[in-house]
Amino acid sequence: MIEKIVTYEIKRAVARKKVITIIGITLLFEVGVYVALSQVKTPRIETILGPISSLLWLVGVLLPQSLLLHFITISISSGALSEEYEQGTVDFFLTKPITRLQFLTGKYLGGFLLVTLVYAFMVFLSLMLSELLFGSQIDLGYLPALFLSVEFSSLTFFSIAFMIGEVLRRSSLAFLISSTVLIGSILIGTVLEFVSRLTGSSIFTSIAIALPAWGAVELPYIYAQGIPNASLIVQALEIFPAISGTEIEAIAYVVLYSGVSTVLAFVSFLNRDIPKRVS
Amino acid sequence: MTISVKGLVKYYGNKEVLKGVSLTAERGAVTAVLGPNGAGKTTTIRIIMTLIFPTKGEVSILGQDPFRHKKVFRKVGYVQELPNLPQFLTGRELLRMSSKIKGASKEDVDRVLKIVGMEENADKKIAKYSKGMTQRIAIAEALLGDPEVLVMDEPNIGTDPVLNYNMRETLKEMKKEGKTILMTTHVLEDVKKVADKVYLLYQGKVFFEGTPEDLVKKFLGVVVITEASNVEVAERSLKELDYVRGFKVEGNKLVIRLSEDRREELLHYLVTSGVGIRSFYLDQELEEAYITALKEAEKVDRENSNL
């Protein structure tokens, strides 16, 4: 039964203009980045890019996950449940031989599968464009694990937005609040790190690391630092270059935020009444 | 009994919207739940359909607790009030998806489309449907899989007379096949024509339970209509009878309200008085009975709240 809801969720998302827009943005973003890199031909840039041109697939794979992928994730998951309430279609499914648990699991997995497909499309474009514009790419063996780390870290804001969408049952409000949490924790994290340097107290760095954005954004970068000769690209793309945390910390915070949010979403959905159409 | 609801209580915050509602719906019968807006009809139906959790009370469908055994919904069709269906699907896509969920056959999709007269429009997006067409598809969806139980929450909103007629005929067929139908409605014509049992809800409580005839008898008395060739004699004769609560004259027709069911005695009396009876039949003024019952319910409620 869950697979039927997953299929429905993908169809529903594709039918919405929002997802078409996301795919359009993705295409523009990836093409724009690579075309820009290939067109800037000053001697200095060529000197910098020369040694790493065979690793430029990393740019398109890592750059979206700094911010764009999290927004896409929020956009998809904030509406996964709340739009069903707004359109009143949740009644349709819950009066069928489908349990609430199956329905919610289907919606969660369907939404996350869509995020995966969008990111896979980004990765595909990165590989294609980097090969096309900068020649043969190397170290692609790191790609599967990097892909998984991006997917895993995107669970943070996927789950937060999913939970807020269920609790508030308003898609626009869920999108706004989740986006604010993302941007807010990036800004606060940066400020906290600055304060930490001024005061010399590591407590502020610890707080910055504990904010939702750090683990979600940094985990793939931490992993990518292990790729030979990739440090220049990683440093250039990182949002939190100054905050140094470990891979374990990043994983722990992703698990914590996505775990707590998912549990809250499930508890709420399994125990609350389904109201008549809310808008 | 196929559907059984016992002592349903529902609070929204401090507001008690259901105050111990109990009802049953039997096989081979249509059970209608009536009541003014806000009486608790939709809340009761939404609890039966597991969309709302009761604060207290029990629900059973085909002997199972639907909150614990969702599989029971394979045998239940449901038409929601003002159906909200996924707009991006076509009618046929929706029915196919639903048939997979309910375990119904592909062929069943064509069968239900035919019942509601939507074969030609089945491949249009639901977003393009009129209110009536959406209602037709919702009814078709509820009939998928030949359900043993049909639950409908005001299914007539936005429907045309042809669909209403077809729907009534379908309900009669389903009754003959031994299916159970539970519906809320404001359309008393449907109640009169198909309902076997009526529950009247008022302010979250069952105020009346019985057949539609019982409703009329209890709140209007027995109403007979007779056509007489000598109306003046009939008027004089009727005034002498203590069990005649009142009557009105409409041309040659007399609408007579009796305080108790003494129809045979009345007929004999009118015939022997030389009234010239042309026809004599029982009338079910359900609408009037319903309104009278509501007034009575309001009075009782006021008295109770004054205590």
pLDDT tens per residue across span B206-235: 999 999 888 888 887 788 888 888 888 888
Give the pLDDT of residue A93: 94
Q: What is the mean pLDDT of residues A243-271?
A: 94
Work out the minimum CA distance from A87 to partner chain B, whole angstroms: 7
**Chain B residue nearest residue A274, CA to CA:** B51
Task: Encode burial over B204-229: b for 16+ CB neighbours within 10 A, e otherwise.
Answer: bbbbbeeebbebbbebbbbbbebbbe
Q: What is the mean pLDDT of residues A16-32?
A: 83
Q: What share of chain B is helix, strand, coil (3-state, %, to 5)?
A: 40, 30, 30
Work out the minimum CA distance from A158 to partner chain B, whole angstroms: 23
Name the band, by pLDDT with cuts 50, 70 and 90, for residue A279: very low
Q: Rounded to whole angstroms, how far apart are CA atoms B260 and A70?
A: 75
Q: Rounded to whole angstroms, how far apart are CA atoms B259 and B242?
A: 9
| A95/B71 CB distance under 8 A | no
Residues 41-100 of A with CB under 8 A from B: 87-89, 91-92, 94-99
Q: Which two tokens stand for residue B277?
A: 């009876």
Residue among B52, B89, B101 minimizing CB distance to A96: B101
Give the pLDDT of residue B163: 77
Contact B147, B178 (CB under 8 A): no
Number of neighbours of residue B272 by Cβ within 10 angstroms: 9
Q: What is the mean pLDDT of residues B144-159?
A: 86
Class of domain B3-210: alpha beta
Give the pLDDT of residue A269: 96
Q: Which residues on chain B are in Cβ contact (under 8 Å) with A97?
A: 70-74, 101-103
Contact B176, B247 (CB under 8 A): no
**Chain A residue nearest residue B49, CA to CA:** A95
| A96/B84 CB distance under 8 A | no
Contact B103, B112 (CB under 8 A): no
Give the pLDDT of residue B51: 95
Q: Is the confidence at residue B67, as pLDDT, over 90?
A: yes
For the domain made up of B216-286, give the CATH fold.
Alpha-Beta Plaits (3.30.70)
ipTM of the complex model: 0.82
Residue among A15, A92, A95 minimizing CB distance to B88: A15
For residue A1, the SS3 value is coil
Residue among A11, A12, A97 minimizing CB distance to B101: A97
Q: What is the pLDDT of residues A29-86, one digit of tens each?
A: 888 888 888 887 777 777 777 777 788 888 888 888 878 889 999 999 999 999 999 9
Q: Is the confidence at residue A278, as pLDDT, over 70?
A: no
| B85/A92 CB distance under 8 A | yes
Q: Which residues on chain B are in Cβ contact (under 8 Å) with A8?
A: 86, 97
| Proportion of chain B above pLDDT 90, given as a percent | 44
| H or E stretch at B150 | strand B149-153
A38-52, B145-159, B283-297: which range is least confident on average?
A38-52
State the span(s) of chain B assigned CATH 3.30.70.100: 216-286
**In the beta sheet, which residues pair with residue A8?**
none
State the span(s) of chain B assigned CATH 3.40.50.300: 3-210
Q: What is the mean pLDDT of residues B40-62?
A: 95
Give the pLDDT of residue A236: 78
Q: Rounded to whole angstroms, how far apart are CA atoms A214 and B172?
A: 64
Q: Is the confidence at residue A212, as pLDDT, over 50?
A: yes
Nearest to B50 by CA among B38, B41, B61: B61
| H or E stretch at B115 | helix B106-115
Contact B139, B116 (CB under 8 A): yes
Q: Which residue has the higher pLDDT, A266 or A27?
A: A266
| A97/B85 CB distance under 8 A | no
Number of neighbours of residue B271 by Cβ within 10 angstroms: 12
For residues A22, A27, A30 and A31, what is the CA-based torsion angle, rounded to 10 degrees? -150
Number of neighbours of residue B63 by Cβ within 10 angstroms: 10
Q: Which residues on chain B are in Cβ contact (under 8 Å) with A87?
A: 84, 86-87
Q: Is the confidence at residue B282, as pLDDT, over 70?
A: yes
Give the pLDDT of residue B260: 79
